[in-house]
Chains A and B, each alone.
Chain A
């Protein structure tokens, strides 16, 4: 009996059935259905179809402004203290017509950031968030050092490289 079982490879046929079934499924569905339909394959066609991120996704650190366009940060330095890799540097300053302290400098070194969101957790004024950017690559180290000034590449705007990953919230 076992001799026959060895001769007739039912086990291998079983495996081939599983893979063959998937081949058929994907072959007949992959290129015919609309995007976001119930596809048999699991590949996301990433640059063409935007990635769907969860609301709590931890991306790049961003400073927020309130309705008047005023920076919300009041320089309590909680984020600077709690940061496990010390990537935030804040310098306190004064500004005309503002009672609370004002950050003259808010520097963020993304090259060492580990995206743990401790800074956001420690912030008592909801003045920072981690946005939904995950495409954060750069060509040189200066690209990873982000401050309050700088054209298009600062703490308020999303990084210019991440064109496909900014979520709408």
Chain B
């Protein structure tokens, strides 16, 4: 009789799958670290940086000298031993087989010819790691490609590759699009580069180089840059209804919907303890498994 009067225990909440369930939106691997710098190789920036570094070095040296003079006069005044004269720091030379390829000024005939042909449209030409780079204005890319393809002294017949990079830290542009051109007859390569801001629609290269078709679709799929006059501007690798552009820097490495449930059996409760600690630090809603 006593049992029947006793109130029924409330139904336990449904057991979560696996030992732990994470709050996905707040999970630590989703916290994307945005890049702080703009790693856009450029001879102009590089020379500016080198000059700035040299100036800073010089200023430091001058300061050291001045400090030394001050210290010297002070020591002389106080009758102590003169301090050691400062030694100018020599940059440390590593004993290894690495020779970092720095950008150098353009000397190649192709680049100079291109600059001569395009005039103002060319923003920058330089060479780095044996590769020729020509950065043109974003509106003039079609003109530049046409010049590369049809000018008899250039004759870059094939568009080998086209890709883009996201630079969220840059101020006046968001993406760089690079075109890797190959001249089969002359065994030469050239990289054309444009910088485009968010929302800008560059001209498609499909008419000049039909191989750009899928490459531009891939760029659109991965980075969300649309191209004007493209025959079929749809996603290619991701499904049609995919949200977001995976290769942008703000996109988390682990896509939405991945389960982060640990399937291992917890030996001695160590994992549980660690996970609880971690969750407590991060403020994650970590439900404990039902005890049975």
Contact = CB atoms under 8 A, between A and B. Distances in A.
Interface of A: 91, 104-105, 107, 109, 111, 141-142, 145, 147, 149-150
10 contacts: A105-B267, A107-B264, A107-B267, A111-B263, A141-B263, A142-B263, A142-B264, A142-B265, A145-B264, A145-B265
Contacts of A141: 263-264
Contacts of A149: 267
B267 to A, nearest CB: 5
Number of chain B interface residues as a range: under 10
B270 A145 contact: no
Contacts of A145: 263-265
Interface of B: 263-265, 267, 270
Interface of chain B: mostly helix, strand, loop or mixed = loop
A149 B267 CA distance: 8
The 5 closest A-B pairs by CB, nearest first: A145-B264, A141-B263, A142-B265, A147-B267, A105-B270
A147 B264 CA distance: 10
Given A109-B264, A142-B263, 9 more contacts: A104-B270, A105-B267, A111-B263, A141-B263, A141-B264, A142-B264, A142-B265, A147-B267, A150-B267
Contacts of A142: 263-265
Contacts of A91: 270
Contacts of B267: 105, 107, 147, 149-150
Nearest to B263: A141
Q: Which of B263, B264, B265, B270 has the most CB of A within 10 A?
A: B264
Nearest to B267: A147
A12 to B, nearest CB: 40
Most B CB atoms within 10 A — which of A91, A111, A141? A141
Nearest to B274: A91
B77 to A, nearest CB: 55
